[in-house]
Amino acid sequence: MRSLDWVVLLLSIVFIVFYGLWRSRGSNTVNKYLLAGKTMPWYAMALSIMATQASAITFISGTAQAYVDGMRFVQMYFGLPLAMVILSATAVPLFHRSGVYTAYEFLERRFDAKTRALVSAIFLLQRGLACGVALYAPAIVLTAILGIPDRATTLLMGSLVLLYTVAGGIQAVTWTDFQQMLIMFAGVFISLGMAIALLPGDTTVMDAFALAGAAGRLNPVVLSFNWQDEFNIWTGLLGGMFLALAYFGTDQSQVQRYLTGKSIAQSRLSLLFNAVAKVPMQFLILLTGAMVFVFYSFEKPPIVFNPIELQRLESQPGHADLTRRYDAAYAERRAAASRYVKTKDEAALTDYRAANFRMENIRKETGTADTNYIFLSFVTRYLPVGVVGLIMAAIFAAAMSTISAEVNSLATVSMVDIYRRYIKRDATDEHYLFASRAFTTFWCTYAIVTAQLGAGPVSLIVMVNKIGSYFYGGMLGVFALAFFFPRVHGTAAFIGVLAGEAAILGASQLTQVSFLWYNVIGALVVIGTGLLVSVLPAQRESSGPTSYGL
């Protein structure tokens, strides 16, 4: 990066941190620290909800996912709009009226303490694992650009997030998310615009779409059904809907966003905004990756995008032959692409597809999965000065928003559902405020230490969703029992969660079904087991201290 890029990046980071500290004013009670005193308007919650999900992983790995596998990943979000409507009608009013700090506090009021403790522990486990992965994403940036050790980058990012998150709690997190999401929107539009603008002058947008389609990159809808296929319309509509219901309806990192709302109506609006905006945003991010792929049809891509792995490859004996064959296949692909642009000949697309197939097979021979480096390589090599800094600022903003939200929610559950419930039950508000800040510090430190889990060849955006899918089915199932089945009691719900998690583990180890189906399997097993245990004569009991249902 050049000087102007560094100036843009550093100013953006400094602004975010100081804005968060400024917004920290007044967070001097537990209610204000954890729920912002229920004063948040819908637009702040809406962008905070989106920013919490749209992490740096979305930028880095989402675009690269389209580069290597096409746009079919967007289908994972097709069930999200319906999930948001369902949650607006169910979870939002129930959580608001119950007056809880966490979603899991609601479970004790509906069922019992052991169910609350179990689901709280599941959340802490899965969100703790994902938190480190999300923090690792921006570490790839500086490692790829400057060769700075990723451990140093994660320490820097985690420390910056720690400053305003510990000071201001959810209020600082939400308002910084709002600003960070605006930066991310700018980054998405600029990235897509630059990917198209850098195409050869005689290449139209329709030409780019044709080339991307010929290579299988312009495939946002796959109609064929396959249990083992991670991304098709059926997996997205059903499995994706269950994943969205679980994530936005049971994950404290999202529930806490709309618990801060001024009213039920404001919280509903925040979810409905995401119902409308999330799929188009993800579509544009993936389209950017597809256009970057087309750009590299006219500009030779490296055989390996990870610079460290490229150096390793260059030292191996067979490198020269591999490079010769790769260069020849690329020359054929570029010639076919240029011929199509000039003649619109379908035969040119056939040649283009065949040459691309050879290039992909040669890349596989390197034994290197470098998906997470593709977009960053394009940005730093080809975008103009200043724009690079803005894209990097968007990536860092995305990372900081996600980490701050996750750390804040982990601290909230640790304090409310564990510490205040089981360790120190009758302390002062000042004590619990101090404990909340202490847990925030702990979880931010934990994220820094565990960030190295993100290192590896797996696509980060797929990794995060897989981690969640191992746990979300059980969480969704128990909340479905709480909302819709008033006769189900606490022991039945507890056993149901254990059975659901066992079913998910079994499905992952004994079958080849896509991870999105884990959410469906887990939820249905929890509901079925809970209903079955509740009707057993020896297990009949009251539904709990308070019955909350629809």
Place of tokens 């999300």: 134
Do 197 and 218 share a domain, yes or no?
Answer: yes
Phi-psi region of 199 (alpha: psi -120 to 50; beta: other; left: phi over 0): beta
What does the pLDDT average to over 454-463? 55
Percentage of the chain exceeding pLDDT 70: 93
| pLDDT tens digits along 49-107 | 888 777 677 777 788 888 988 888 888 889 999 999 999 999 999 999 998 999 999 99
Domain count, the chain: 2
What is the Cα 71 distance to its own chain's centre?
A: 16
Which of 259, 231, 281 has its CA nearest to residue 100?
259
> Please, which residues bridge with residue 40 across strands?
261
Give 252-299 as a DSSP string.
HHHHHHHHTBSSHHHHHHHHHHHHHHHHHHHHHHHHHHHHHHHHHHHS
Do 204 and 284 share a domain, yes or no?
Answer: yes
Length of the chain: 550
Range of the domain at 142: 3-296+377-455
Do 236 and 321 share a domain, yes or no?
Answer: no
| pLDDT tens digits along 317-330 | 888 888 999 999 99
Lowest mean pLDDT, pick from 126-140, 381-395, 411-425, 526-540: 126-140
The CATH number assigned to the domain holding 149 equals 1.20.1730.10
Reported as a pLDDT band with limits 50, 70 and 90, residue 380 is: confident
What does the pLDDT average to over 505-534? 89
pLDDT at 461: 60
| pLDDT tens digits along 20-51 | 888 777 788 999 989 988 999 999 999 888 88
| pLDDT tens digits along 346-370 | 899 999 999 999 998 988 888 777 7
Q: What angle do CA 133, 136, 140 make, to 5 degrees?
A: 135
Q: How far apart are CA 447 and CA 431, in angstroms?
A: 24
Do 252 and 133 share a domain, yes or no?
Answer: yes
CA 38 to each of CA 41, 248, 402, 455, 486: distance values in angstroms, whole numbers, following the listed order: 9, 18, 21, 38, 28
Q: What angle do CA 122, 127, 129 make, to 5 degrees?
A: 100
Q: Which of 43-47, 146-150, 465-469 has the highest mean pLDDT?
A: 43-47
- Asked if the structure places residue 323 within a domain, the reply is yes
Token pair recorded at residue 93: 């009013």
Do 448 and 343 share a domain, yes or no?
Answer: no
Do 252 and 334 share a domain, yes or no?
Answer: no
Token pair recorded at residue 186: 């700018």
pLDDT higher than threshold 80 for residue 432: yes
What does the pLDDT average to over 117-139? 83
More confident residue, 222 or 276: 276
Q: What angle do CA 262, 267, 269 make, to 5 degrees?
A: 120
Which of 535, 529, 479 has its CA nearest to residue 504?
529
Reported as a pLDDT band with limits 50, 70 and 90, residue 516 is: confident
What does the pLDDT average to over 293-306? 90
- Asked if the structure places residue 238 within a domain, the reply is yes
| pLDDT tens digits along 165-210 | 888 888 888 888 888 888 888 888 888 898 899 999 889 999 999 9
Residue type, 499: A
Lowest mean pLDDT, pick from 169-178, 279-288, 308-317, 373-382: 308-317
Do 96 and 224 share a domain, yes or no?
Answer: yes
**Contact status, residue 207 vs residue 57, Cβ threshold 8 Å:** no
Do 249 and 331 share a domain, yes or no?
Answer: no
Q: What angle do CA 273, 480, 257 make, to 5 degrees?
A: 35
Do 388 and 343 share a domain, yes or no?
Answer: no
- Asked if the structure places residue 422 within a domain, the reply is yes
- Sort 41 into a burial class: Cβ within 10 Å, 0-12 / 13-18 / 19+: middle
pLDDT higher than threshold 70 for residue 162: yes
pLDDT at 543: 47
Token pair recorded at residue 176: 């910084």
- Asked if the structure places residue 159 within a domain, the reply is yes
* DSSP conformation class of 40: B
Percentage of the chain exceeding pLDDT 90: 39
Do 416 and 333 share a domain, yes or no?
Answer: no
Place of tokens 């200043």: 386
pLDDT at 463: 65
pLDDT at 413: 95
Which of 354, 322, 348 has its CA nearest to residue 335?
348
pLDDT higher than threshold 80 for residue 444: yes
Average pLDDT along the chain: 86
Domain final residue, candidates 437, 455, 473: 455
Do 221 and 126 share a domain, yes or no?
Answer: yes
Do 279 and 200 share a domain, yes or no?
Answer: yes
pLDDT at 539: 54
pLDDT higher than threshold 60 for residue 547: no
pLDDT higher than threshold 90 for residue 133: no
User: 42-53 and 264-298 are packed helices; what angle lies between their axes, rounded to 10 degrees?
Assistant: 40
